[in-house]
Amino acid sequence: QVQLVESGGGLVQAGGSLRVSCAASGGTLSHYIMAWFRQAPGKEREFVAAISWSGGRPYYADSVKGRFTISRDNAKNTMYLQMDSLKPEDTAVYYCAGDIQPDPYYNDNDYKYWGQGTQVTVSS
């Protein structure tokens, strides 16, 4: 089994930056796609970004392109999401997810392993 634990959430003013982390344990991620999803109150969970663990190829939702950067440190089995130019609409619980072959990568139902989530709040 793979266990995922998010950290780094908090309260930030609009225009500010925050970096959230996802630490993985319990298995290899060499063939995994790892992703960030988020869910705001009263809204459905939505795709944010994804990365292939071996090659590091990133994928982004249109709403965060140019503002968020996904990366991973394979030596630490840790994935990061650097969030810049934050907006109040970015406020949500951010979840880390992973699976071997999610198809498609932006579909949350295709991910087997999930973290508990970390709250990100952006004030205006």
Tokens representing 68 are 């968020």
Rounded-to-integer distance, Cα 10 and Cα 99, Å? 27
pLDDT at 112 over 90: yes
Task: Give the pLDDT confidence score for residue 47 in this predicted structure.
Answer: 98
**Phi and psi at residue 4, in whole multiples of 5°?**
-120, 135
- For residue 10, pLDDT over 90 is answered with yes
CB atoms within 10 A of CB 45: 15
The predicted structure's pLDDT at residue 103: 86
At 19-71, the pLDDT tens digits run 999 999 998 888 999 999 999 999 999 999 999 999 999 999 999 999 999 99
